[in-house]
Structure 1
């Protein structure tokens, strides 16, 4: 076999191997781009460069081996020069291969030049020996090329396996990210995004399967007070507890989502014939479970729940319409006292429209001169003398009708304008006192109501004093009634500051509606007050032996604290007699006089004249429908 034939075979192998390696490089590049891993591309780039550099170097060397067949390097130099690039390619790298091949070419050229110049002796190797060397070189080259192809195939298989593992991990991470994006991190239930996605799917499938989709809006009652009192760690445990109860109460297919601080939404599927009845029953049961006392971070807590729900009865129901309907039902529950479950009805939407119209009118009434006050007297129980009057806020509608507190106060409070309303009533009350005195009535003072919104206004006391001064009144001419429902959170509460400043200014304050709420005694301990007004709810059943003892105990407590006592809601002669026997000093109620507009009250007080106890008794017995004693 001639050297030229060997070289021809060698070049044929190269022409096959090089395209394979090049194709491998392209595949590696595409794989790297598809998964975003540049390290793979770099790895195969190195393999390609190393193989190409080695093959080029061996080709050059092969050409010089052919030239050495007619004479060349002597001794063992030629085999070393032939195998050097092979060793460099396998163990060192592509750059070393190119460098080694360059050195070899330079060395061979130098030896050839020296040989031709006669400085070195002719090669001792015969052509047969050089053929053997060329065959060895070809075998080594072929083996290395085959090893490279094998390595490439093995590497591709490994990388495909790694790619599959990477894809599995990517799917796992993607699932975790999707879960985080659609679930609440605190409670583990769905969030708004998860609710939106679930509702879209549920509504679409319900139309096909003739099912009802029920959306239940749950609002946790008293959660804010627990959060404020015990801190967020306790509040967080309460939320987790409530979420677990909701999840356990409804079927596995139901979705529970947290959509606000203390608001949850539950989505469930129900049959059309029995769905609504079952939902109301489940909601009532859920409320009872949530109301049960629980231990959170070592603290015993108790919350409640108000629920409004709506069902997809129409084909055109959407997520927004269901949410709106459930919100309307929840609004009705909150307005009527909380702690209930109520389903949406079409009448609620009509009522909402009326409420919106009423709110628009209220904005106008609060702006113009529609706010007014009515006057009700407070009378000494022993002498019958009028000791003061109370100015009660009303709004006069366009038709001239007076709107009662139950109609207007919830709306005004919801609008956030209760302090503004209090201020206007105060102005009207002061004006009424001035008018009554100008008409000759002996009225010692006028009492006004101050809500928590007013008391927490930084300039409340200044405004009271300014309005008194503008009318020539003194601080003794007003009595401020603090609503018992005003929750005093601490001595740093702005309401406490206002009450203390009123006292410093010489303005007396009393607690209104004493006995109607849950913070009565604690407020008495926190506040520097001058008196209290016993709520009508305690007087309504004054004929009861137990109620009499309660009222007597309250009166005794107030007396021991040097507090004056006013009893409101007195309507009958029997109530009058019992309260007088207990020792109460001042009374107020329909049995004496109902709240009247200023002109009507002026007429009443003129007819009342120099009242005494017999005159008072006469009016009370007349109001009770009993014969006058």
Structure 2
């Protein structure tokens, strides 16, 4: 008994350390025991799990072999019934997968005796041999044709649906049994590991006590880590909050400002106008809205590119900011449209002066990327002295004033008034009437004759539009042409006159009337249609006529207004297509000598303002100079406004080739022109006799 007690005390002294300064030794012993136990259990578990996973995988692949064999047979029959590349590809893929799966099953380590017997040592049906034979037969059948393929498929079916299928089922069952056995062994191993772990834990609890200071130290370290994590999270949240605040400011700025110019946008403008409410200090709200629209800005984009166009818009924004007061609101509401809201304007004159300064500043040449840009601006403004004025109302009033500024020739400043609204309403009503007249085919051609001064023969006639109103009768063009052009309907009227004029020419010639040609007027809008030459050519050819039967008269103003658009090109294409082009209203002050030298006109048509003073020395000198210029340029001269015999004799003496006016005949309907023609031809024959 004494010897045993000595042994226990010696064990406690060397193993169960009680000295506080030597606690680290039992920590080391406990750690070593835990490491050894866990390591041994982990190693054994890994080996068992690996083996179990391999057996489970083998069981799965073996089961898959059964399905693959039947899939190969199915696809082989499907290939015969409905041959396709997709079916052949799927069949080849199934064969490859069956072969690779079989290779994996037969070459894996530690194959059980039963499986080894089944795959390699079975005297009647070794599965390895018949599986490889099955694959070779399937591949051979894929490449065979006709009866050979059918025979091979029959062999394949016999092989796959009898012995092979039975053997594959047996293999699957054996693999599954081995997988279950391995699983049971893994469960036993887990129980052994658990028992060993419990024994080790018991030994540590009985022999190696974890000192309290270790627990306290670990807790302190955890608290410190947690504190550091919280500090880092706080800094992260703080930074994130600052980012969110900055992002909110940026979004607010982007939502209320134009991205290109930095000016306030339409939304901010609406918000500002909506929030203008009267206060006891200011009384009723008083402000003005100026709307600015750029002139000829489209040509900048078309000729110099959108990058230069953007730079021009930025330059305009800077101009507006420099002209406005510091407390005025400057915004860009879209495209080339800007709005300035003037708070408490001093007077209407001050607003008009601001608009004039803006127009003058924007009209000055701008140097953008080495290119000189010339644009203009038109301004319309309205005054609001009532708090009930809505943003839409103010912008509409400013827009109406702007519309009048552009209508007056651009580069103008207009203010809104009640009279302006009435005038616009009246014009809108006329627009509606013209639209209705077009729909009801109320526009009819009147013809005014033209004759050669030399031979006295008929040169042709000009087709002039008249409105045959159902209640007011025939309406002269001065009443509706300007409104139709403004409303964008003049092109329709021009084309109607072309069609009806050519119809009349065809009818006249069918009646034996020798009318050499007709002249039609082409407005600037009509000339901006690049398809106009093709359309006119189609119209004349459809009636069996030629381009020489149609003369197109172009206003002088078209040239000066259309230097940057398609009208000039259309004129060139018209002459290239064989149509005669005459420059109408020559002498009204718009003519450009450069256009006369650049464009090939067939003639000039003197405006009636040049012919009316005749006989007059200065007027005749001008007409003589124009005739000389025309002769040098190979153009004929048509004198319009020949009202009496004196006019006729003088312009004839001055060298004008063709005359037109009341002296020959007024603009008249088709039947009246036919009567005039008969009378004219009879008088001509009488003179010749």
TM class, shorter-length: 0.5 to 0.7
Distance in 2, matches of 1:443 and 1:570, equals 20
- Residue 306 of structure 1 is aligned with which of 378, 392, 408? 378
Whether the 8 Å contact between 1:567 and 1:586 is mirrored in structure 2 is yes
Distance in 2, matches of 1:491 and 1:316, equals 47
- Residue 317 of structure 2 is aligned with which of 243, 250, 263? 243
Does structure 1 residue 452 correspond to structure 2 residue 527?
Answer: yes
Quick check: 311-320 or 584-593, which moved more? 584-593
Tell me the alpha carbon deviations over residues 279-336 of structure 1, each in whole angstroms, 9 at most, x when there is no partner: 1221112111111122222222221111111232333321111121111111222222
- Listed as ranges, the matches of 1:208-607 within 5 Å are 209-271=283-345, 274-381=346-453, 386-430=458-502, 433=505, 443-450=515-522, 451-452=526-527, 456-457=531-532, 459-466=534-541, 468-469=543-544, 476-484=548-556, 485=558, 487=562, 493=569, 496-501=572-577, 503=578, 507-514=579-586, 520-521=592-593, 524=596, 527-535=599-607, 554-569=626-641, 583-589=655-661, 594-598=666-670
Distance in 2, matches of 1:399 and 1:246, equals 51
Cα 1:107–1:599, aligned 2, differ >3 Å: closer, same or farther?
closer
User: Is there any run of 5+ residues in structure 1 with no aligned partner, and where?
Assistant: 1-67, 87-98, 117-121, 124-129, 616-629
- Residue 79 of structure 1 is aligned with which of 2, 24, 29? 24
Whether the 8 Å contact between 1:460 and 1:498 is mirrored in structure 2 is no
- Aligned-pair CA distance for 1:252: 1.6
Distance in 1, matches of 2:466 and 2:537, equals 24
Q: Secondary structure at the match of 1:259?
A: strand
- Aligned-pair CA distance for 1:432: 5.0
Q: Secondary structure at the match of 1:584?
A: coil
Distance in 2, matches of 1:543 and 1:302, equals 44
Whether the 8 Å contact between 1:468 and 1:475 is mirrored in structure 2 is no
- Residue 240 of structure 2 is aligned with which of 143, 146, 166? 166
Tell me the alpha carbon deviations over residues 244-279 of structure 1, each in whole angstroms, 9 at most, x when there is no partner: 1111111122222222322112222124xx343321
- Aligned-pair CA distance for 1:392: 1.0
- Listed as ranges, the matches of 1:89-100 within 5 Å are none
Structure with the greater alpha carbon radius of gyration = 2
Distance in 2, matches of 1:201 and 1:562, equals 68
TM-score by length of 2: 0.61
- Aligned-pair CA distance for 1:542: 9.0
Distance in 1, matches of 2:395 and 2:243, equals 38
Quick check: 184-193 or 372-381, which moved more? 372-381
Q: Secondary structure at the match of 1:402?
A: strand
User: Is there any run of 5+ residues in structure 2 with no aligned partner, and where?
Assistant: 1-11, 32-41, 43-192
Tell me the alpha carbon deviations over residues 580-610 of structure 1, each in whole angstroms, 9 at most, x when there is no partner: 5653323334676553445665676778788
Quick check: 147-156 or 358-367, which moved more? 147-156
Tell me the alpha carbon deviations over residues 72-123 of structure 1, each in whole angstroms, 9 at most, x when there is no partner: 358998525548999xxxxxxxxxxxx9xxx9x989964964998xxxxx99
Whether the 8 Å contact between 2:528 and 2:570 is mirrored in structure 1 is no
Quick check: 204-213 or 445-454, which moved more? 204-213
- Aligned-pair CA distance for 1:146: 4.3
**Root-mean-square deviation (CA), in Å?**
4.6
For 1:16, the equivalent position in structure 2 comes to: none
Distance in 1, matches of 2:664 and 2:29, equals 124
Distance in 2, matches of 1:294 and 1:364, equals 45
Q: Secondary structure at the match of 1:258?
A: strand
